[in-house]
Structure 1
Amino acid sequence: MSFLRQFHTIVSDQTLSTDEKIQSLLTFGLEVFSLDIAIVSKVVGENYEILYVESDNPDLTPTCTFDLGGTYCTHTLKANKALSFHCAGQSTISTHPCYINFQLESYIGAPIRVGKETMGTVNFSSPNVSAPFTAAHIDYVELFAQWLGSEFARRQAESVLRNNYKTLQKMEEVASIGSWRIDLESKDIFWSNQTKLIHDLNIIDKPKLDLWLSFFENEDCRQTFSHFISEAITHGTPWEVELPVVTQIGRRIWVSLHGEAQFNEGKCTSLFGSLQDITHSVELRETLKAQRREAEMLLDERSHFLSKISHEMRTPLNGISGLLINSLEEQNPDKRTENVQLALRSADILLGLVNEVLDFSKISQEGLSLSTKPTDLPQVMSDIVELYKQLITSPSVDFEANINLCQDYTVECDPVRLNQIITNLLSNALKFTPQGKIQLSVHTHHIDTGIVLHIIVSDSGIGMSPASLASLFQPFKQGEEEVGSRYGGTGLGMSIVKELIDVMNGDIDVQSKLGEGSLFKVSIPLQTTSKCKQDTPFQENTPFDASKLNVLVVEDNEINQKVMEAFLQKFNVTSDFASNGEVALQKCSVKSYDLVFMDSVMPVMDGPTTARNLIKQKLLPNHAHIVALTGNTSAEDKAVCEQAGMQDFLSKPIELMPLAEALSNCLEKIQAHSDI
């Protein structure tokens, strides 16, 4: 059998692996050349490493390394072609280290080239002198080297391909991107593993086009996908589209499909592309759209809010300004008194609007807070009933109150906020009942932790439509458009009521029909406490003598100074004034004050800082009282004032009764100190 035929027989044997073929070719070469050692080597720099070997020498094994200069292969690599000699001892290389060290007489070898690079050699050798090598021998060893170079190149390409495929798989997993291909001739569909995972298929599954189409959420999606395929086949149009998909296990996801056509001689033979799970991106995009819509809505509401508040505030401001101007020139004392009383009523309305705006601001930012204390429910309800008896002046409106409360205990609640809930409901009933009847019913029932307070406010007024009921607790909403224009108001009252009831862990239920009136039912759980003796509260318009007090008012606003001066004079108090904290410190260093009214926000030095300095520098007597004056009425603001050493807290606008309580507290403190 010739060299070529045997070589072909070995390399074409599909039952043998590449490694087995190499070993067979080395064995065959030893037979052909009648030599003892066959080696396939890899050369890197001056390092000679054995990759494959056939030899009886146990010291020669794969991975053995030698210095390249100590092998005959160094001559083969320098010659860059096949090289042979059959009697080294009588040749020019008899002084070569390989001959000196190993006494190898015979050698034939050729360089192995992978692409344009020389990888190593294939060589055969023996310590025995052989017959001279023929041209056929040279052809064989060169053919062997060429085949090895092709195999090693194929291995490298396969390795790169495998690595690239692994990298592609990893990228597909990380980015949730899969690939796909449709062979139009065989109608076969290829899906990458990631594409199958996206659709919740098993890796071994082989999808068909019908199955693929069934995954799309609806017929419109299937038609869209089919249309893009048709356009690609007919015109070669690439596409990219986002479609909803229902996976094999029923998950609803969104995928981005990219596809292109492949043509051969003008005919579309296949379609290929990518498929990515973009569910998270779509959900994020929809969230951002919703947030944008919400932001735009809030901007619209803010604009509407500012417009509404501006309009609502101008009405009482106009009343205050106009009535006071008219009072300056009014000679009739009764008429002048009436003007002032109406101006005060307008001021009350304006204050109510400001309070609503502040409450709404708290709701928008951090939520409303409660300031609970033992509260006499019957007294709270009695005050509300008496107030509304005075407010309902129309003879065509009847007001009926049914209060059924136990007198044996107090409850833990915020009486101001409770009052705000009920007065808002009654004010709404009064506003929207031009004639008919308004009823307030209050009763309780006991539970393990205390009681549940039930408040029912009903009226026979204009009522509400279903649309108005649906938006009742939304800010700025006042039902039908003509309601707001006819009856006025900010539309904040009911949203604040709902927030307050939620903060109190209560419930509110509303029943209403357009033209038939409304019914509001409120339930609030409250803890009960034992009844304690209540101090007789100060009654407005009953000032007492506090002339013995030395009072300093620290206030930067001149008008507020005048207001405080007028109020204090009702109690026979002549006060000193300081326009900022530094002036207050100077005054207190030269005069002893019993009571200091301290504005919170001032230039130069603010109220809390001034209070801390007064205490730190001991500029006040031990019995002195510091009372905060501020328009900031949140729990946080009160805490700041208390931490600064202020014992009382008066919110602006100042009212006579709280002022009287502050003066009384100071007098009691002085009395207690003198008794000691």
Structure 2
Amino acid sequence: MSFLRQFHSIVSDQTLSTDQKIQSLLKFGLEVFSLEIAIVSEVVGSNYVILYVESENPELAPKCRFELGKTYCTHTLKANKALSFHHAGDSTISTHPCYSNFKLESYIGAPIRIGSETLGTVNFSSPEISQPFTLEHIDYVELFAQWLGSEFARRKAERVLHDNYKTLEKMEKVASIGSWRIDLESHNVFWSDQTKRIHDLPKSKQPTLDMWLSLFACDTNKQQFLNAISDAQLTGKPWEIELQVATLTGRQIWVSCHGEAQINDSKCICLFGSLQDITQSVELRETLKEQRREAEMLLDERSHFLSKISHEMRTPLNGISGLLINSLDETNSDTRTENLQLALRSADILLGLVNEVLDFSKISQEGLSLSPQPTDMHIVISDIVELYKQLVKSPKVKFETHIKLKPNCMVLCDSVRLNQIITNLLSNSLKFTSQGTIKLSVESVETNSGIMLNILVSDTGIGMSPSSLNTLFHPFKQGEKEVGSHYGGTGLGMSIVKELIEVMRGRIDVESSLGKGSQFKVSIPFQTTSMEVQEDTYQNTAFDASKLNVLVVEDNEINQKVMEAFLQKFNVISDYASNGEIALEKCSAKSYDLVFMDSIMPVMDGLTTTKNLLQKKLLPSHAHIVALTGNTSEEDKAACERAGMNDVLSKPIGLMPLAEALSNCLENLREHNKS
């Protein structure tokens, strides 16, 4: 049974009390997260109070109190969102009092909110190291917290209603619950001031039964109210129903109507009760339902996404693995070289897929940004044209270009992102065109602030149906089902293209007919500049950097071998450390000019190691620290810079960025020696 189905089965079971539902949810959560302790807590001042608990530890029981600062939940409350970790002893949390006192390795928890206030937390933990928690687990614990908040809010409202029900005056003044009465002999209707306020009726006006009935939103609500009145007259049975009504000013609201019958001499002479505006509660309930539906859709989407990415990544991985295995026993040098070149091409494809996923992640978090630099538009476009002249190999497909750029077309542009836009459009045309023509037209039109770059990519390929056009820029969509299965791909490319164009303040229009090809029109404004493109200050070929004393701090043995091979091209023989503590020891014993620092390592990570190196002054003043990281976001790069690193090299490491780092360090060493 799926998580949501079992979750719904528990919370919708009308045979269970709220307490029983909470205990069942805690047991269910322990199964989902494979943990040992489940707690629903309330925070009272600086105290952490257990409300509900599922644990074999007899010392953990309802009403037990702990100091909030000595629990992991203090971090969850400060973050005001769900938090998790699966191995506290191998993280910065290992110094936390909760770890010191209870040795809890695994934890996942979320704050419980009632309206704008935070009641406490629902959390699951274990002294055992668990599997890493997934985004789905975060969704689950947040869903637990949302339901608990809603249920506590409902119980709170019920308690208020129960306490105040017997005294109508108190309900009027304290709980803002109105009262009403119907005299069955005279058919006169009485509404308290609060009931009038709920229905937007002026205090000076008196309601009638016909007017009241006219306010019900639908005949079903009206009939439900009349049936409750009729049953009360016949049986004396009280009722409680929720109804949607329209106020006298036209506002649509929900009310909870409670009623009882007054019986004299076996005859019902009067009906009276209370009325409460529960619009917010109903809206909250509907919001939770919608969130549950969205959560189900999100889970389905993520499942589809993971399946799609897994399939697409396995293809180049299979190529890399198979070609390298074949190269081990290959004696023909030409064949071996060809195998390695194909393996590198597969690696490039795999890297492209990873970059697509990262770009999509940035779009989802609104973190996609540009890095404009002075750019010669002639060079950007000519490089793309030359590339696709080589890629269009089929004799059945012609590649035509029409380039009309103004002379000296220098603009401020993120050339990498512009290249990504155009190559993505051309790659799609190439993928879906087996015969005919692919055309690329690029034209610059002068504007007041610079130029408008108009790009037209058209083809005579398979084209798209109207339904495919409607979902073209949606992630994971590839038109008709057979298109995705036949041509492959993640379905992320076009959504990323559209986002990039919009970030550049441009627009894209598409025209396509099934079987007749497609045409993409892109217009992007650019600001012109008189600045010239700066040439690289280092050579494209390897140079002698043997003067440098280099330390590579990297825990992965394969990555050590890669760095060793790259550095040997520059005549550098480096030392190696597999974690930060070993790096500190080596820097204490030897003076290094350059340290390549992996960001994530066991024992001591790269950021912590860098801070220690600088604080303890274990490196000479001219030394450079260069991060080696697979985390490419601006936030990660900023963290490296704050730690004191001079530069960042993203994995997989390229020869040219490595050459630039070595060249910069050599120049720094020369300046130091002069002084």
- Provide the TM-score with structure 2 as the length reference: 0.69
Residues 235 and 582 (structure 1 numbering): CA distance in 2 closer, same or farther, change over 3 Å? closer
**Aligned ranges for residues 86-485 of structure 1 at < 5 Å?**
168-169=168-169, 171-172=171-172, 175-365=175-365, 367-406=367-406, 408=408, 410-485=410-485
CA distance in 1, matches of 2:615, 2:175: 64
Residues 455 and 240 (structure 1 numbering): CA distance in 2 closer, same or farther, change over 3 Å? farther
Q: CA deviation at 1:538?
A: 6.9
**1:236-287: CA deviations, max 9, x gaps?**
5543332222211111212222333444444443333322211111111111
CA distance in 2, matches of 1:174, 1:288: 28
Q: CA deviation at 1:200?
A: 1.0
2:656 corresponds to 1:657:
yes
Residues 173 and 244 (structure 1 numbering): CA distance in 2 closer, same or farther, change over 3 Å? farther
CA distance in 2, matches of 1:257, 1:166: 15
Q: CA deviation at 1:407?
A: 5.0
CA distance in 2, matches of 1:449, 1:244: 57
Contact 2:375 2:533 in 1 (8 A): no
Q: CA deviation at 1:619?
A: 4.5
Q: What SS does the corresponding residue of 1:530 show, helix, strand or coil?
A: coil
Q: More displaced, 640-649 or 406-415?
A: 406-415
Contact 1:553 1:561 in 2 (8 A): yes
Residue identity over aligned pairs, in percent, reads 74
Contact 1:408 1:531 in 2 (8 A): no
CA distance in 2, matches of 1:407, 1:450: 13
Aligned letter for 1:635?
A: E
Q: What SS does the corresponding residue of 2:529 show, helix, strand or coil?
A: strand
2:503 corresponds to 1:503:
yes
> Which residue of the partner structure matches residue 568 of structure 1?
567
Q: CA deviation at 1:353?
A: 1.6
**1:626-659: CA deviations, max 9, x gaps?**
3221111111222222233333221100112222
CA distance in 2, matches of 1:168, 1:434: 80
Contact 1:409 1:531 in 2 (8 A): no
Residues 407 and 493 (structure 1 numbering): CA distance in 2 closer, same or farther, change over 3 Å? same
Q: CA deviation at 1:449?
A: 4.6
CA distance in 2, matches of 1:217, 1:476: 41
Task: Please identify the structure whose Cα radius of gyration is greater.
Answer: 1
Residues 376 and 172 (structure 1 numbering): CA distance in 2 closer, same or farther, change over 3 Å? farther
CA distance in 1, matches of 2:506, 2:288: 34
CA distance in 1, matches of 2:337, 2:609: 40
CA distance in 1, matches of 2:287, 2:515: 41
Residues 256 and 612 (structure 1 numbering): CA distance in 2 closer, same or farther, change over 3 Å? closer
Q: More displaced, 321-330 or 448-457?
A: 448-457
Q: CA deviation at 1:467?
A: 2.9
**1:181-231: CA deviations, max 9, x gaps?**
222222222222222221111112122222112212233433333343344
**Aligned ranges for residues 482-493 of structure 1 at < 5 Å?**
482-493=482-493
**1:460-483: CA deviations, max 9, x gaps?**
323333333333333322222222
Q: What SS does the corresponding residue of 2:288 show, helix, strand or coil?
A: helix
Q: What SS does the corresponding residue of 2:511 show, helix, strand or coil?
A: strand
Residues 177 and 644 (structure 1 numbering): CA distance in 2 closer, same or farther, change over 3 Å? closer
> Which residue of the partner structure matches residue 603 of structure 2?
604
Aligned letter for 1:661?
A: E
Q: CA deviation at 1:579?
A: 2.1
Q: More displaced, 189-198 or 371-380?
A: 371-380
Q: CA deviation at 1:671?
A: 4.4
**1:143-185: CA deviations, max 9, x gaps?**
xxxxxxxxxxxxxxxxxxxxx9997456336544222222222
Q: More displaced, 209-218 or 222-231?
A: 222-231
Q: CA deviation at 1:535?
A: 0.9
Aligned letter for 1:476?
A: F
CA distance in 1, matches of 2:280, 2:460: 53
Q: CA deviation at 1:308?
A: 1.8
Contact 1:176 1:198 in 2 (8 A): no
Q: Which runs of 5+ in 1 are unaligned?
A: 1-163
Contact 2:378 2:409 in 1 (8 A): no
Q: CA deviation at 1:322?
A: 1.0
**1:68-99: CA deviations, max 9, x gaps?**
xxxxxxxxxxxxxxxxxxxxxxxxxxxxxxxx
CA distance in 2, matches of 1:514, 1:496: 23
CA distance in 2, matches of 1:410, 1:624: 37
CA distance in 2, matches of 1:186, 1:673: 104
CA distance in 1, matches of 2:311, 2:195: 61
Runs of 4+ in 1 over 6 A off after TM superposition: 164-167, 537-540
Aligned letter for 1:415?
A: S
CA distance in 1, matches of 2:407, 2:610: 41
Contact 2:165 2:171 in 1 (8 A): no
**Aligned ranges for residues 11-90 of structure 1 at < 5 Å?**
none
CA distance in 2, matches of 1:431, 1:616: 54
Residues 545 and 399 (structure 1 numbering): CA distance in 2 closer, same or farther, change over 3 Å? farther
Q: CA deviation at 1:569?
A: 2.4
Contact 1:453 1:526 in 2 (8 A): yes
2:642 corresponds to 1:643:
yes
**1:533-566: CA deviations, max 9, x gaps?**
52158786x4334344443322221101111122
Q: Which runs of 5+ in 2 are unaligned?
A: 1-163
Residues 508 and 582 (structure 1 numbering): CA distance in 2 closer, same or farther, change over 3 Å? same
Q: More displaced, 165-174 or 320-329?
A: 165-174
Contact 1:538 1:657 in 2 (8 A): no
Contact 1:453 1:524 in 2 (8 A): yes
Q: CA deviation at 1:615?
A: 4.3
Residues 197 and 510 (structure 1 numbering): CA distance in 2 closer, same or farther, change over 3 Å? same
Q: CA deviation at 1:668?
A: 3.5
**1:583-640: CA deviations, max 9, x gaps?**
3344444444443322222233333343344445554455443322111111122222
Residues 373 and 167 (structure 1 numbering): CA distance in 2 closer, same or farther, change over 3 Å? farther
Aligned letter for 2:256?
A: S
- Provide the TM-score with structure 1 as the length reference: 0.69
Aligned letter for 2:205?
A: D
Aligned letter for 1:197?
A: R
Aligned letter for 1:194?
A: Q
CA distance in 1, matches of 2:249, 2:456: 52
Aligned letter for 2:605?
A: D
CA distance in 2, matches of 1:173, 1:490: 61
Contact 1:215 1:246 in 2 (8 A): yes
> Which residue of the partner structure matches residue 665 of structure 2?
666
Q: What SS does the corresponding residue of 1:180 show, helix, strand or coil?
A: strand
> Which residue of the partner structure matches residue 37 of structure 1?
none
Residues 211 and 521 (structure 1 numbering): CA distance in 2 closer, same or farther, change over 3 Å? same
CA distance in 2, matches of 1:354, 1:576: 31
Q: What SS does the corresponding residue of 1:522 show, helix, strand or coil?
A: strand
Aligned letter for 1:652?
A: K
Q: CA deviation at 1:378?
A: 2.9
Q: CA deviation at 1:302?
A: 1.6
**1:19-68: CA deviations, max 9, x gaps?**
xxxxxxxxxxxxxxxxxxxxxxxxxxxxxxxxxxxxxxxxxxxxxxxxxx
